[in-house]
Amino acid sequence: MSSVINSERIPNNVHLGDDRKLQRALEAWQPRFIDWWKEMGPEGFQEDQVYLRTAISVDADGWANFDYVKMPEYRWGIFLADPVKDRKIGFGDNMGMDAWQTVPGEHRNTLRRLIVTQGDTEPASVEQQRLLGQTCPSLYDLRNLFQVNVEEGRHLWAMVYLLHSYFGRDGREEAEALLERRSGNEDKPRILGAFNEPCNHWLSFFMFTYFTDRDGKYQLLALAESGFDPLSRTTRFMLTEEAHHMFVGEKGVGRVLKRTCELMKKNSNMDARAEGGIDLPTLQKYVNLWYSVSLDLFGGEISSNAANYFAAGIKGRAHEERSYEDHMALEGSMTFDVPTSNGGFEKQEVPLRTAMNEILRQEYVADSQRGIDNWNKIIRKADIDFEITLPSTRFHRDTGIYAGMKFDPSGRLLSDEEWEKKKGDFLPTAEDEAYIKSLMTKPIFEPGKMANWIAPPAKGIKGRPVDFVYVRHDAS
């Protein structure tokens, strides 16, 4: 099962050639995907040779092949992790029953909605990032951006395969609609808020891949537990690709921090901006922004939908088997400080199943903290007294029980006037945005050279040196 058939128009390890009807349907969708890629993918680099990894098998070691490829000729394919023999549903009311190899009628709409919502984020992020190449801080970073982009394109393929294979006509219609919505477009926006936010400079790109791709990781971990086996196998393979995206984010922010510390020390007033760098308080504001919009992606703290997904065996908790002993979650509860109409809070205890979104979010919070700790090590090593912190999960929320309320990053409730006065200390201002963009007006295509605001990476890709020609860009 692991081996990938690469000779077909659509590389795959799902024996696509045995199902002529499905193969024809996907081969008809393929040129429309390429049209979308050419219109909405990285602008100005479609003819360049890019040193990219492509999946050629799904084995644990060596699934990836590295070579130069033009992005529109990238071999987007359909890869599922190997089946687990006699797999059973591992949680909820259907626990212990055989995993579903087809979609149960009663869960059809729910599963389709989950798959479409996940699928929609993939092309959305490519659209958000399509202009970034034009201001790349190095060829190394340019290549990493494109690697993330082509793999998000492949994740779209993964979801479209499920829609075409298991959801008949409405699945095919949803697959078309995935190519029609556009990030940030007023008339046909992408489904989730964070995927309509502009990602128009590299600091946001690194924050996005650190915080928002990490939400993706947790959604995929929850779906990897699904009783719908094809969804589980698809998402398990997607997770192996996702790891690289978060690496790009963590190392990217880390390199910015390192450079900021160097520039502060160069300046008699420790002023990073005076040296053309990104100062630490501004970096903290971007952490606050991208972390809070990513927290929203987990949904409301108290959610009957989440309870139903869990009960049915559709969406579990991350690492359900390894991390939890009780897979029924019928006992136990979680308590929230819920805002009251008179401006105070009251404790509300909700059954555990109703708190599944929050359980997943708390895992995400702990995972996010690990990178913050690494970033703080960089600052400490430079002997600078500053600490990056994650804001309270109540800060700047747009979904759930704290939606629209005004908290400071420590979680203290603010009046509207206080918020208006202080929000520029918490979140990037128009001036901050303008300043960051002013640092990134020109691309750097010289091999090994870095923009002034970022330190070089510790090493290159796949054993290549940092000054390797990761993208063969002909600027003429």
**Which stretches of the chain bind Fe ion, using CB under 5 A?**
122, 152, 155, 213, 242, 245
Min separation Cβ 460 and Fe ion, Å: 21
Cα–Cα distance list, 3 to 49, 73, 86, 230, 240 (Å): 27, 21, 21, 17, 17
> What are residue 54's DSSP bridge partners?
65
Q: In degrees, to the nearest 5, what angle opens at C-alpha 140 toward C-alphas 137 and 143?
A: 105
In 222-251, which positions are buried (b, 16+ CB within 10 angstroms) versus exposed (e)? bbbbbbbbbbbbbbbbbeebbebbbebbbb
Min separation Cβ 456 and Fe ion, Å: 24
Min separation Cβ 122 and Fe ion, Å: 5
Min separation Cβ 159 and Fe ion, Å: 9
Any idea what DSSP says for residue 357?
H
* Pick 127 or 242: Cβ nearer Fe ion: 242
* Pick 71 or 261: Cβ nearer Fe ion: 71
CB distance 178 to 156 below 8 Å: yes
CB distance 397 to 408 below 8 Å: no
Residue 166, Cα to own-chain centre: how many angstroms? 25
* Pick 152 or 225: Cβ nearer Fe ion: 152
Q: What is the Cα–Cα distance from 152 to 122, expressed in whole angstroms?
A: 5
Min separation Cβ 149 and Fe ion, Å: 10
Q: What is the Cα–Cα distance from 258 to 380, expressed in whole angstroms?
A: 10
* Pick 203 or 248: Cβ nearer Fe ion: 248
* Pick 23 or 226: Cβ nearer Fe ion: 226
* Pick 242 or 301: Cβ nearer Fe ion: 242
Check residue 83 and give left, alpha or beta (phi > 0: left; psi -120 to 50: alpha): beta
Tell me which residue has tokens 């990513």: 294
* Pick 155 or 251: Cβ nearer Fe ion: 155
- Give 269: exposed, middle or buried? Use CB within 10 Å, 0-12, 13-18, 19+: exposed
